[in-house]
Structure 1
Amino acid sequence: MKIGLDTIVKVNISMKVKDGETPDIIKKPSSIEFIYGRDRVHPILEKALLGHEKDDSVQIDVPPEQAFGPYNPDLVNEVPIANLKHPERLKEGEFYHEPSGYGNDIAFTVKEICDDYVVADFNHPAAGKTITLDAKILDVRKASIMEIMAALNAARGAGGG
């Protein structure tokens, strides 16, 4: 069966930086399943998969603007070390992560460690870089009417009126 509107697609995706070192944060492959044309999937991925079948492999180059965004030098800031819960984990050139307690985690690349502060780069580690997606199609099948209705309801949002 070919991928098209209202087909359920299961795909394994791995990402890498096209020209350069791939940050650890995006190296781990992941599998996703979605209803083509109904679920929220990156448009570049959806377009590239159209017409393909189970066991096909697709490679897609995603420009920075449509991947992790352009690199923004304004997102490099000094953060007081005293404000961090685990300053012992700070290592120059590595990714630092801690839960904030407010639903959004604190995550940055450590550019430099000074006496009282750390120079933190809050850009995504792959910002400003073209990303290559390698997609392996694991399964394609026709979506049932119930699956399509569930996707349409999810797109409208849950809740009353």
Structure 2
Amino acid sequence: MTEPVIGNNSQVFVHFDVELPDGTVADSTKAHGKPARLTLGNGSLSGAFEAAIKGMCKGETRRFSLDPQHAFGERNPDNIHHMDRTQFAADADLTEGTIMAFATPDGNQVPGIIREVAGDSVTVDFNHPLAGQMVIFDLEVLDIIVKD
């Protein structure tokens, strides 16, 4: 029996570090002690990310970089909103850089980053924190489940 390789419709368990070009680690499944489960072919991953890991085998490691448009997208100015201070709980931490959850009309939650507080106006950025940045993945394949 041959060792499975990552291909279309594979479910993959990986550990990864996401680094910025300056070497800062932005996220790490190893640090959280919990591998990520990725599914290729379902639209949840960019085509460039899928292309970078296709053909890998269990136990293999790979380091690759993705430009913003292939990683977390470009920064979108329409995702920056100015909200009234009264829309926040009185004890809410509105320190610049604080990430908090906001409810959407459909009941889901999305993260927003407090960018500025000026008087009664709070500027919230709903772009992904890594939007607009090139990122480097250091990835290790832990397991592959090939789906028919």
CA deviation digits over 1:43-68, x for unaligned, max 9? 22322223322211011211101112
Matches within 5 A, 1:47-66: 47-66=51-70
Matches within 5 A, 1:7-156: 8-19=11-22, 21=24, 23=26, 27-29=27-29, 30-34=35-39, 38-40=41-43, 41-85=45-89, 88-100=92-104, 102-140=106-144, 143=146, 147-148=147-148
> Identity of aligned pairs, percent?
24
Q: Is the 8 A contact 1:3 1:140 kept in 2?
A: yes
TM-score w.r.t. the length of structure 1 is: 0.68
Larger-gyration structure (1/2): 1
TM-score w.r.t. the length of structure 2 is: 0.73
Residue-pair matches, total: 139
Q: Which runs of 5+ in 1 are unaligned?
A: 149-161
CA displacement at 1:81 relative to structure 2: 1.2
Going by fraction, where is helix more abundant, 1 or 2? 1
Q: Cα RMSD (Å) of the superposition? A: 2.8
Q: Which runs of 5+ in 2 are unaligned?
A: 30-34
